């Protein structure tokens, strides 16, 4: 079963590579594919990507704060959704909360990079497979092999301070509400000033 792992940026790529190495330990039939590492010299890059997208049975999109608005991530997500059901495409959030996801990626059922999230990723892949692994085996293997994956993701460097910080939607909405309230208060002050000015003019004339 071919699994297309989409990435954009160094941290997203590191997560994609970690997934490629770890997933077959849980699901022996899994054949993860990650661009750049798997494209051999001399291949036409775009043609190779298109071929892998078309052949994929499942898609994982490695989403980080740095690439959440990446055009390439959105392109591959769109291509994956066209070639398979949305249930077979999972945005995997690394350093993000579910509420941070918006736009085209929000149509998919996103999961976080933690043990529970990865258990659900594995189960989703297994449900889409023709020859499924026993669920009891999966539930035993993930805790047993989790430390290997945890070490790999813990080794991924933190984002640079110059990178764009993704603000939670709740924080953005709260700021907008505050600004609107402030604007409303200022408009009321202006109306009061105009009325007082007109009254003074009335007394003076």
Span 135-157, pLDDT tens digits: 999 999 999 999 999 999 999 99
Q: What is the pLDDT of residue 93?
A: 97
What's the start-to-end Cα distance of the chain, in Å? 88
Asked whether residue 171 falls in the same domain as residue 146, the answer is: no
Asked whether residue 116 falls in the same domain as residue 66, the answer is: yes
Residues in the chain: 205
User: For residue 68, is pLDDT > 80?
Assistant: yes
Asked whether residue 116 falls in the same domain as residue 21, the answer is: yes
Asked whether residue 181 falls in the same domain as residue 118, the answer is: no
Asked whether residue 52 falls in the same domain as residue 137, the answer is: yes
Lowest mean pLDDT: which of 83-87, 119-123, 124-128? 83-87
Q: Which residues pair with 32 in a beta bridge?
A: 3
Q: Which residues contact 204 (CB under 8 A, 6 or more apart)?
A: none
Q: Which pTM does this prediction carry?
A: 0.73
Rounded to 10 deg, the angle between the 45-55 and 71-83 helix axes is 40
CA distances from 81 to 5, 29, 59, 60, 162 (A): 13, 22, 9, 11, 32
| Average pLDDT value for the chain | 82
């Amino acid at each position: 079963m071919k699994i297309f792992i989409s990435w954009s940026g160094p941290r997203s790529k590191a997560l994609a590579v970690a997934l490629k190495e770890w997933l077959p330990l849980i699901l022996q039939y899994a054949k993860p594919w990650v661009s750049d590492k798997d494209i051999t010299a001399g291949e036409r890059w775009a043609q190779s990507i298109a071929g892998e997208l078309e052949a994929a049975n499942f898609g994982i999109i490695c989403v980080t704060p740095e690439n959440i608005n990446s055009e390439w991530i959105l392109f591959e997500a769109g291509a994956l959704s066209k070639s398979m059901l949305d249930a077979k495409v999972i945005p995997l959030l690394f350093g993000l909360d579910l509420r941070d996801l918006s736009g085209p990626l929000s149509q998919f059922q996103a999961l976080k990079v933690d043990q529970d999230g990865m258990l659900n990723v594995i189960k989703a892949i297994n449900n889409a497979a023709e020859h499924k692994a026993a669920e009891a085996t999966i539930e035993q293997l993930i805790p047993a092999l989790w430390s290997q994956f945890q070490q790999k993701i813990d080794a991924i460097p933190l984002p640079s301070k110059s990178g764009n910080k993704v603000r939670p939607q709740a924080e953005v909405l709260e700021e907008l509400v505050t600004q609107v309230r402030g604007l409303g208060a200022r408009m009321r002050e202006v109306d009061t000033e105009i009325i007082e000015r007109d009254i003074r003019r009335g007394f003076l004339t």
